[in-house]
Structure 1
Amino acid sequence: MDKPFHNSSRTCTLCGRAVPLTFHHLIPRKVHRRNHFVRHYSREQLAAGIHVCRLCHNGIHNAHDEMTLAKELNTLEKLQRDDQIRRHVQWVAKQKT
């Protein structure tokens, strides 16, 4: 489990709430050792991620499996365009901090 990252000047990349943040790897760590990802991505690309709140982070992983996240939703823009994640983030944005 990711350790919370807390800095009052930071907000969740997805919902914009100022709450403790976690780090979401855009390519989930679970797949980093698979041959496809070792061959096609640099260490920097595999380490890339965004800071999101726990509710958004849970929503990302509840909406899609690791392989779908790794192959199809591996950028912030792709996550933001996904209907299921977008609906969840809209709900999270309305929650109290």
Structure 2
Amino acid sequence: MKKSIYEKDLFTQTILQSPIPCNLLSGYKHLYNKEINIRPDQPENITRLLLPRKPNVGIRHNIVRHRGSIVMQNRLAARYSGEVYLVKHDL
């Protein structure tokens, strides 16, 4: 079922304007308690965070991405390696 623009905006407004409890891998703990903006270009299934890309991110935890997951693109994504997303729907 396709979500309306209102529903997409509601996700962004309610989820991203308050802290998101999470557990990060040790190499990413510097992101705790940091305000992170979202990118203006948003696809339907993910929310793209405005963080610098990191080249050659290793491949790990390559599993199904559930709604609410915080994921980082790995080196298989080429120039998108290191982009961080919040997953809106199970992928």
Category of TM-score, reference length = shorter chain: under 0.3
Question: Normalised by the size of structure 2, how large is the TM-score?
Answer: 0.23
Structure number with the bigger relative contact order (C-alpha 8 A, sep ≥ 6) is: 1
| Structure with the bigger percentage of helix | 1
